[in-house]
Amino acid sequence: MKIENCKLKIVVCWLYPELMSTYGDRGNIICLTKRCQWRGIDVTVQDKLAGADLIFGGGAQDRQQEIVMRDLSGKKDQLQKMFDDGVPGLFVCGAPQLLGRPYLGIFDMETSFPGGPRLIGNLVGEISSHYNLEPRTFVGFENHGGRTYLGPGVKPFARVIKGFGNNGEDGTEGAVYKNCLATYSHGPFLPKNPAVADWLIKTALEVKYRKEVELKPLDDALEHQAHDFIVKKYGH
């Protein structure tokens, strides 16, 4: 028996909303919140990890990132346990650096800073078929100095069609550990990728209620128009 959307509750954790909010990151929180509310799902946003059903981490300026790292390394075990329990997460911008080595080391991946040019521009990729999303593509914008190389303990989130992705060499973009996604796309990733937003919401609810959840369909004509525009303009 499936639960009606209007009887569901979801708690979203936005990690360090003041420190990790460099460039439109809150677009992801607005997107998750609205897409829940439009379906009658009760949604709360908090900055604590405890009790969260979905975790979001944005991008930080260098100085802010240091403050975040100092605090977050004390929460590493809590974060790892939540990921291992299947709690979904989205980490954008510098997240691949933050979650892997030499920082938190939860994700099996290594980031180096060779000091070459920053990798900047529109980013289009094909999301791993594991997620069975429609459309299969994602669109974003990247701006990073680090180069990340994945180990066998994580899977790439997508394959780069246009842009640089993890390192500009092997065609991988982002990383997935359990239900947690990390991407070099920065800022408002979810609004133009509503299928990813809905996957996060659905997964969060299914892990929480231990039941299959069917999200009410929404009118995503404008979302798809904005998505397709970027794929057509930059995705080849």
Partner 1 sequence: MIKLLAKLVSFVSKTLGLGAGVTWAGEIALKFDPNILSKLIPTGSRVILIAGTNGKTTTSKMITQILGNAVSNDTGANILNGIVGTLITKPAAKNIVLETDEATLPAVVAQITPDTVVLLNLFRDQLDRYGEVDTIAKKWLSALEKLSCRFVINADDPQLAWLGSKLKKVSFFGLDDKKYFLPKMQHATDSIFCPACGTRLKYAGVYFSHLGQYRCPKCSFKQPKLDLAARDVKSPLPGVYNLYNMLAAAAVTGTNEITAFSPAFGRMEKIGNARLLLSKNPAGFNESLRTVLDAKERGPVLLVLNDRIPDGRDVSWIWDVDFENLTNYRECITCSGDRVYDLALRLKYAGISNMRIVPNLGDAVKNQSWILATYSAMLEVRKILTGKKIN
Q: Which residues are catalytic?
A: 93, 186
Which residues make beta-bridge pairs with 13? 46, 55
Q: Does 141 bind partner 1 (CB under 8 A)?
A: yes
Residue with Cβ nearer partner 1 (126 or 228): 228
Q: Does 90 bind partner 1 (CB under 8 A)?
A: no
Residue with Cβ nearer partner 1 (66 or 170): 66
Of 55-63, 74-82, 129-137, 147-155, which part binds partner 1 (CB under 8 A)?
55-63
| β-pair type (119-127, 158-162) | antiparallel
In the complex, least distance from residue 129 CB atom to partner 1, rounded to whole angstroms: 26
Residue with Cβ nearer partner 1 (108 or 228): 228
Token output for 121: 């521009």
b/e sequence 108-133, b meaning 16+ C-beta within 10 Å = ebbbeeeeeeebeebbbbebbeebeb
In the complex, least distance from residue 35 CB atom to partner 1, rounded to whole angstroms: 9
Q: Does 191 bind partner 1 (CB under 8 A)?
A: yes
Q: Tell whether omega for the bond before 152 is within 30 degrees of 0, i.e. cis.
A: no
Residue with Cβ nearer partner 1 (100 or 140): 140
3-state SS assignment for residue 54: strand
Query: Between the CA of residue 183 and those of 101, 113, 128, 137, 209, what are the distances in Å?
Result: 15, 17, 13, 14, 27
In the complex, least distance from residue 44 CB atom to partner 1, rounded to whole angstroms: 18
